[in-house]
């Protein structure tokens, strides 16, 4: 599907902005990652040895669990840096693709559905980066079991496949069941984060706020599913019209780009802030500090400064998302909407002056029901 010239320029701007943000984020994440020699933990799998208490047939049957090292130096911040780099490369691919993409003012008009060029790249990227970010944050909280981490990666990939299915499937044959499955998978991963947050036992540490990370993680990751459910099914009253689809009021692909870079930046730097401020609070020995790259660490205002980073990226991202949704939503009453052709009827979303003067009644699209198809 081609883009209009205006849409092409907008997406070039969005993907270029995302590319720069993630590239800068990746650079600083790698720079602030602890040196390998400071990482004492490793990712492992468990080996089970069935034996007896005495080691021979005279003993009581039992089994022992042994850890088998599969990855040295479990460095959570470095994993997050890799994730940011992959995300930057994904947006670089989007920019390169758009540069050579044709435009068509008629065929390229937005029709209330995700563009193939956008959703294919998006769900492939999310299938890798969303899971890798989860793994990085879990490793940093002490989840080093390779089986659990692989399950998180695969669960995330399954969710993104459902996202692809929803975008690729025509509205008339969509089912809500895959989305229910995706939310079930998402809640299972959120529970893992909640359990790890609840398992942090050093109550004397002011900086150990993984419960805050779990809440922010749930908020931002669920926003993708909520956005998709809204544009698949929600109908609203807009500009005096009844039953206008949410997907007609905004460009769903542009919202995804904004959700993508804000979510990853918030979660990446929330974890980095918690990790470094906790390490800094734990030790006053200069020999055991991560490094001396952050000016406010090893000072009386280290915790407050990293807290400012956490709150700053959160508020900044929420403001960006809110402004984006507001600007997109206002577009339904702007001039572009008068020329917009709905996917289902091929008619203008908003009645034009010519239609009013000719006395032709405005045909509103039939209300779409949420069907459960088995």
- The domain that holds 137 is classified in CATH as 1.20.1070.10
Same domain, 170 and 206: yes
368, part of any domain = no
Same domain, 96 and 49: no
Q: Is residue 38 exposed (0-12), middle (13-18) or buried (19+ Cβ within 10 Å)? A: middle
Convert the pLDDT of each residue in 285-296 to its tens digit: 777 888 888 989
Convert the pLDDT of each residue in 63-110 to its tens digit: 889 899 998 888 999 999 999 999 999 999 999 999 988 888 888 888
Strands 43-52 and 61-71: antiparallel
Query: 239: pLDDT confidence band, cut at 50, 70 and 90?
Result: low
Same domain, 146 and 57: no
Task: Tell me how far CA of residue 191 lies from CA of 144, 184, 269, 346, in angstroms.
Answer: 17, 11, 21, 44
Domain that holds residue 63: 41-72
pLDDT of residue 8: 92
266, part of any domain = yes
What DSSP designation does 244 have?
Answer: E
Same domain, 168 and 240: yes
Sign of CA dihedral 139, 144, 145, 147: positive
pLDDT of residue 332: 46
- Element of type H or E holding 242: strand 241-245
Last residue of a domain, one of 72, 89, 124: 72
The rounded distance, in Å, linking the Cα atoms of 98 and 106 is: 18
Q: Coil, helix or strand for 126?
A: helix
pLDDT at 168 > cutoff 60: yes
327, part of any domain = yes
pLDDT at 359 > cutoff 50: no
363, part of any domain = no
- Residues 133, 268 contacting (CB under 8 angstroms): yes
Tally of domains in the chain: 2
Same domain, 347 and 210: yes
pLDDT at 259 > cutoff 90: yes
By residue count, the chain amounts to 374
Highest mean pLDDT among 193-197, 201-205, 286-290: 193-197
Same domain, 63 and 128: no
The rounded distance, in Å, linking the Cα atoms of 117 and 1 is: 7
Same domain, 350 and 216: yes
Same domain, 111 and 248: yes
Same domain, 59 and 178: no
Same domain, 123 and 46: no
Convert the pLDDT of each residue in 300-331 to its tens digit: 888 899 999 999 999 999 999 999 988 887 65
Degrees (nearest 5) of the Cα angle 207, 30, 134?
60
For residue 89, give both structure tokens.
Answer: 């490369």
Give the N- to C-terminal CA distance of the chain in Å, as an integer: 30
Same domain, 236 and 322: yes
373, part of any domain = no
Same domain, 272 and 252: yes
């Amino acid at each position: 599907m081609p883009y209009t010239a205006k849409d092409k320029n907008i997406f070039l701007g969005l993907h270029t902005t995302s590319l720069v943000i993630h590239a800068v984020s990746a650079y600083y994440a790698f720079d602030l990652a602890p040196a390998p020699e400071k990482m004492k933990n490793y990712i492992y799998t468990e080996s089970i040895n069935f034996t007896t208490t005495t080691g021979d047939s005279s003993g009581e049957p039992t089994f022992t669990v042994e850890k088998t090292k599969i990855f040295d130096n479990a460095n959570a911040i470095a994993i997050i840096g890799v994730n940011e780099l992959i995300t930057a490369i994904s947006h670089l691919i989007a920019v390169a693709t758009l540069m050579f993409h044709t435009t068509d003012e008629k065929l390229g008009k937005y029709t209330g559905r995700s563009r193939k060029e956008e959703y294919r790249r998006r769900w492939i990227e999310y299938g890798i980066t969303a899971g890798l970010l989860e793994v990085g944050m879990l490793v940093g909280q002490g989840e080093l079991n390779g089986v659990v981490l692989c399950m998180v990666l695969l669960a995330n990939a399954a969710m993104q496949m459902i996202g692809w299915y929803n975008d690729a499937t025509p509205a008339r044959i969509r089912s809500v069941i895959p989305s229910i499955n995706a939310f079930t998978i998402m809640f299972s991963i959120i529970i893992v984060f909640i359990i790890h947050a609840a398992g942090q036992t050093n109550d004397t540490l002011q900086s150990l706020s993984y419960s805050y990370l779990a809440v922010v993680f749930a908020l931002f990751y669920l926003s993708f599913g909520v956005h998709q459910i809204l544009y698949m099914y929600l109908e609203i009253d807009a500009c005096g019209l009844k039953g206008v689809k949410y997907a007609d009021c905004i460009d769903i692909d542009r919202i995804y780009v904004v959700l993508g870079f804000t979510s990853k930046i918030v979660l990446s730097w929330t974890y980095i802030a918690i990790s470094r401020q906790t390490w800094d609070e734990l030790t006053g020995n200069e020999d055991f500090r991560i490094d001396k790259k952050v000016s406010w660490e090893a000072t009386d205002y280290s915790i407050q400064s990293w807290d400012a980073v956490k709150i700053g990226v959160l508020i900044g991202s929420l403001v960006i998302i809110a402004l984006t949704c507001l600007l997109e939503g206002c577009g339904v009453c702007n001039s572009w909407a008068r020329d917009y052709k709905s996917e289902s009827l091929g008619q203008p979303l908003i009645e034009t002056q010519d239609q009013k003067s000719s006395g032709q009644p405005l045909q509103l699209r039939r209300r779409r029901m949420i069907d459960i198809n088995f």
